Amino acid sequence: MPIKFPFTKNKKQPVPQTVGLDYNQLPEHVAIIMDGNGRWAKNRGMPRIAGHKEGMNVVKKIVSHASGIGVKVLTLYAFSTENWKRPKNEVEFLMKLPVDFLNTYLPELIEKNVQVRTIGDFDVLPPHTQKAVDEAIERTKHNDGLILNFALNYGSRFEMVNAVKQIAAKVEDGELSSCDITEDLFSSQLYTSDLIEPDLLIRTSGEQRLSNFLLWQLAYAEFWFTEVYWPDFDESHFEKALYDYQNRKRRYGGV
């Protein structure tokens, strides 16, 4: 368990310094299932959407921190293909969150050299969500700092079925034969085709499941779970996850 020094100041924000964390050996790609917003709100007698709003503020904190310490890719599960089952007002709120986030935070993302991207079935999102996200993608596309990848209307099974359909179409057209189908070819048909695979998956709130998130891409990721609800998650929890990751032995099936 790393011992925390008091926060030290840098120019923009306090940066927790976790003893023993090697900032030169960070996981390149961190994926997060930001869970527990609803329970956080319920415990406070507040509506579920209050938890999501607070969760958005935590997104800001973690993005700043990940960008500041040099993580290369941060993939955040913001809305799953299954989340449409939630009450209408909650879905509407969740669809508005990226708009609010980008309205207030895009200038800072640009200043931090962050590149915004998405994975998921984007075309069926409400127009205001698409517009805000499209604008952020366009305005940050030349940035080469942290890739901030929002999983929006994302479902891993849907993604994989689509990949299969695309490959099948190429086989039908005679562009490919079935023996050309490899793991790399399959990966190339996923939303994440030009991203490195996640090294570390974090899930908050005590749940320990994948919930249809990056099922293919997480094959060799290290998993890190915490009981902390997402709205209570902060930079020190993030660094603890990174520290624990650094103390894992990744063997990729070898010895």
Report whether 210 belongs to an annotated binding site: yes
Cα–Cα–Cα angle for 167, 182, 218, rounded to 5 degrees: 95
Site membership for ligand FPP, residue 214 (CB under 6 A): no
Rounded CA-CA distance 74/112 in Å is 14
Cα–Cα–Cα angle for 110, 80, 47, rounded to 5 degrees: 85
Is the CB of 192 or the CB of 205 nearer to ligand FPP? 205
User: Which range of residues in 34-42, 156-164, 183-191, 241-249 is near ligand FPP by CB under 6 A?
Assistant: 34-42
Catalytic status, residue 35: yes
Site membership for ligand FPP, residue 34 (CB under 6 A): yes
**Torsion angle of alpha carbons 210, 188, 142, 80, nearest 10°?**
-30
Size of the site for ligand FPP (CB under 6 A): 19
Q: Site mask, ligand FPP, residues 39-78, x = CB under 6 A?
A: x------------x--xx--x------------------x
Is the CB of 163 or the CB of 237 nearer to ligand FPP? 237
Q: How far is CA 22 from the centre of its chain?
A: 22
Amino acid at 42: K
Site membership for ligand FPP, residue 149 (CB under 6 A): no
Site membership for ligand FPP, residue 201 (CB under 6 A): no
Cα distances (angstroms) measured from residue 81 to each of 109, 189, 201: 26, 19, 19
Report whether 139 belongs to an annotated binding site: no
